[in-house]
Amino acid sequence: MIGIIFAPASGIGGAISLIRISGAGTDALIAALAGTLPKPRRAALRDFRAPDGTVLDRGILLRFPAPNSYTGEDYAELHVHGGRAVRSAIANALVALGARPAEAGEFSRRAFGNGKLDLLEAEGIADLIDAETEAQRRLALDQAGGAMSRAIGAWREALVGLMARQAALIDFSDEDLPSEVEAAMLAAIATLRDEIVAALGAGTAAERLREGIDIVVLGAPNVGKSTLVNAIAGEEVAIVSETPGTTRDAIGVRIDLGGVPVRLIDTAGLRESTDAIEAEGVRRARAHGARADFLLLISAPPDFMAPEAPPGIETLLVATKSDLPFAPPDNALAVSAKTGAGMATLIEILKARVMDLTDRGAGPALPRPRQMTCLRDMVAALDRAMAVSAPELRAEELQLAANAVARLTGVIGVEDVLDQVFSSFCIGK
């Protein structure tokens, strides 16, 4: 849909409300709303009026003519008082003047369409809005600010160069080219492929950071799982009772550990049960444990029997109720949620572990499944490009890798390749 769009860009109830307007004809619309136009990018105090001349509010007007605006279109901002009545009156006036409410994401969609954002930056903005922790904010800001796009831009340039060189090899296939030319081509493809594989590894950590880490607490009934979860979370999340089997289902709470979002999951006590509901709770507990990023295996005196961990998942053995006169196993961290003994150590261990799990290194790290799929497609195409010997087939695989780049950030066009071909290899002379 085209036309002039508007939307509030601030929450309801504040002293000031920001209303954004974008589209061809915005200047004429705001002139009808506010009278004379201010200079571009200069704040001006104006009375905002309905089409019949009624003053609706007095506020600040800013205008940003195309193409130097967020959307790349003529764009304006109204800073008005934050009451519902004011916002409603301004919205009604804008509709009467020919604007319409924006659809979800439409401002950023227009910015993308006008070359102000690529897909990665647009997705970064969405993640920045949803960020709950400091580490999530930094990851999203890197992407929204173009840091990821710039890193991937280097891959794009390398791929364009490879496509140009391959085109030249096809063009000169009837000539005896030195074997070093083919070797150099394969080495360059391998270098690019290795960089993308490294980014895939970093992307796994970034995805964990974006989605959050699942720490699952497993143990037999009455070993203090719920008490421990409440102590770590700092609030009464789970019901604590001396009655075995009180926890029948998994209970999750969101917490922040070192800037990393964590879902701490209390589970039903692991034991054989003839009670259908409790047995289902035990099944769900094991299922959560099998999907966890990290496990806390809980034991308690007097026998300190900890459950067996699912394969492939890192664990920490925790011996609860250390205030009781029993010696815990040497390989377990002794804690007491009642006295607080060992709790600070436990939380520091958890912080360090979740930070390791979300450490994405210094290279590009893409947290969304769509982005990871594009990277995997690039790696697969480059692997095939190194495996084939026919120049035409290799060129086709390089084109498939280029298509994956296009899906990731934007469009890679034939003109990019032709520029490289003509400048580097002088084809057509």
In the annotated binding site for Mg(2+), the residues are: 226, 247
Binding residues for GTP: 222-227, 241-247, 266-269
171 CB contacts (<8 Å, ≥6 apart)?
Answer: 425, 427
Q: Answer yes or no: are the C-beta atoms of 267 and 223 closer than 8 Å.
A: no
Residue 57 token pair: 């509010």
What whole-number distance in Å separates Cα of residue 422 and Cα of residue 402? 19
Q: Tokens 């800001």: give the residue.
A: 141
Binding residues: 20, 77, 116, 222-227, 241-247, 266-269, 429
Binding residues for (6S)-5-formyl-5,6,7,8-tetrahydrofolate: 20, 77, 116, 429
Q: Answer yes or no: are the C-beta atoms of 50 and 96 closer than 8 Å.
A: yes
Other C-beta atoms lying within 10 Å of the C-beta of residue 150 = 11
390 CB contacts (<8 Å, ≥6 apart)?
Answer: none
391, amino acid identity: P
- Strands of 44-49's sheet, edge to edge? 44-49, 55-64, 75-81, 16-22, 5-8, 100-101
Nearest CA among 360, 302, 371, 416 for reference residue 126: 371
Residue 250 token pair: 């998994």
Q: Answer yes or no: are the C-beta atoms of 206 and 428 closer than 8 Å.
A: no
